[in-house]
Amino acid sequence: MNAELHKTVEPLMSDNNRLQVVDGLRGLAILLVIYQHGFATSFSKYFKQVTGLDFPYIIANGWMGVGFFFVLSGFVLALPYFSGNRSMLTREDRKEYLLHRGKRLMPLFVFMAFVSLAFYIHKGDRGAYKSFFMTITSASMFTRDYFFPKINGPFWSLLIEIYFSAALPLILISIYKFGLKKTAIATITISLLLRLAGAYFEFGAIHQNPVKDFFIARFDDFIAGMVVCYLYVNGKLPKNTKLCIALGISMILIAALMWDLRLQNQIPIFLVAFTNNLTNIGFSLTLIAALQSKGFIKAFLSIWLLRIIGAMCFSIYCWHGLLIGPQLLENPLKLNNQLSFWITLAALSAFTYRYIEFPQATSLRKLFLLKPKALKVPTT
């Protein structure tokens, strides 16, 4: 298995078109999350008024974009190791990885935790300091009341990203020793069992469950991306792109419908645990289709605006929850509300992307995915 993992093929990072596709998928994921937090409630009301239905089926499930982020992270983090460009076999390898990953995640996380604290102090929230402490130490992941940090709710998923990043060396060592198949099966089983247990804990809101969404219970999202990565670097991806995208979208829609039915108590509660498995399959198939896409799908995912949104998704994710105010929630279709939100989000995200995430960047054009300037050829 070790030899298989170090089989070097054309790596994704050297292929601009395929890298563009992954950035494009990240862009879609963050737009889904923003839609959920800022627009889904109002759009659900419009949907019920227009259709006459009692429930806004499918359209209030943009939160699934978080799971897509996890799948994509698993793919991207595994890529340099599965392609043979890096190793995780020695202590120095692991130390180098943890330092590099820490430098990537922690500066923005810590900076935005302080910004979020300032936001809530300004609002007069007395619980802001405790929430800040629980978040910055990552202890909120082990609590009921602070699992979804009060200073910045979306931070719960960033903590899962941090915990998975810390666990990646152990996961790769397990893959080296026992193989990807056994490691994946074990991870999926443990995650599923935790979600099954969590489904029966009452936490008020079905979508906010500290057991079901405990970091270990979401590790199978990342493993799904790692499996796709392994298939990719070994040239074993399914070739039928149209079938992959059709099945992938179908799986995601079925999972969304299952959540909607559960919210109405129309299906057993234990089935909630399996919706993650459906979305993992759906997002994995979508990623597989994108990696081999041609024509419209490739062109769409390579649009610069979608790609730069994907490249800046970390900053955008950290800011969006703070900027979605009551005016936008009450009337998301009002032009002034839209302009105020998107312009502010773009400006602040660009600032932290440039100066907090990548302060050492020497080329702004490269950082913001712009084409290099054409060299002027002197004329004679």
Residue 3 binned pLDDT confidence (cut-offs 50, 70, 90): very low
Residue 244 has pLDDT above 70, yes or no: yes
pLDDT of residue 9: 36
DSSP state of 203: -
Q: Using alpha carbons, select from 146, 172, 157 the residue that is nearest to residue 69.
A: 157
Q: Using alpha carbons, select from 213, 119, 123 the residue that is nearest to residue 161.
A: 213
What's the average model confidence in pLDDT over 310-332? 95
What's the average model confidence in pLDDT over 71-83? 97
pLDDT of residue 126: 78
pLDDT of residue 371: 86
Range in 12-21, 253-262, 349-358 with the lowest mean pLDDT: 12-21
Please report, rounded to a whole number, the percentage of residues in the chain having pLDDT higher than 70.
93
Write down the domain spans for the chain.
Answer: 2-367
pLDDT of residue 376: 65
DSSP string, 59-106: TT-GGGHHHHHHHHHHHHHHHHHHTTSS--SSHHHHHHHHHHHHHHHH
pLDDT of residue 11: 36
Are the beta carbons of 279 and 219 closer than 8 angstroms?
no
Over residues 92-121, the pLDDT tens digits come to 999 999 999 999 999 999 999 999 999 999
Range in 181-190, 217-226, 362-371 with the lowest mean pLDDT: 362-371
pLDDT of residue 12: 40
Euclidean distance between CA atoms 295 and 353, whole angstroms: 31
What's the average model confidence in pLDDT over 125-149? 92
Residue 42 binned pLDDT confidence (cut-offs 50, 70, 90): very high
CA atoms lying within 13 Å on the CB side of residue 102? 8
Residue 377 binned pLDDT confidence (cut-offs 50, 70, 90): low
Q: Rounded mean pLDDT of the chain?
A: 92
In Å, what is the CA distance from 19 to each residue of 84, 240, 279, 295? 18, 20, 22, 16
Residue 127 binned pLDDT confidence (cut-offs 50, 70, 90): confident
What's the average model confidence in pLDDT over 33-60? 94
With a CB cutoff of 8 Å and minimum separation 6, the contacts of 225 are: 70, 71, 72, 73, 74, 75, 76, 77, 78, 284, 287
Reduced to 3 states, what is the DSSP secondary structure of residue 359? coil
Euclidean distance between CA atoms 301 and 187, whole angstroms: 31
pLDDT of residue 378: 63
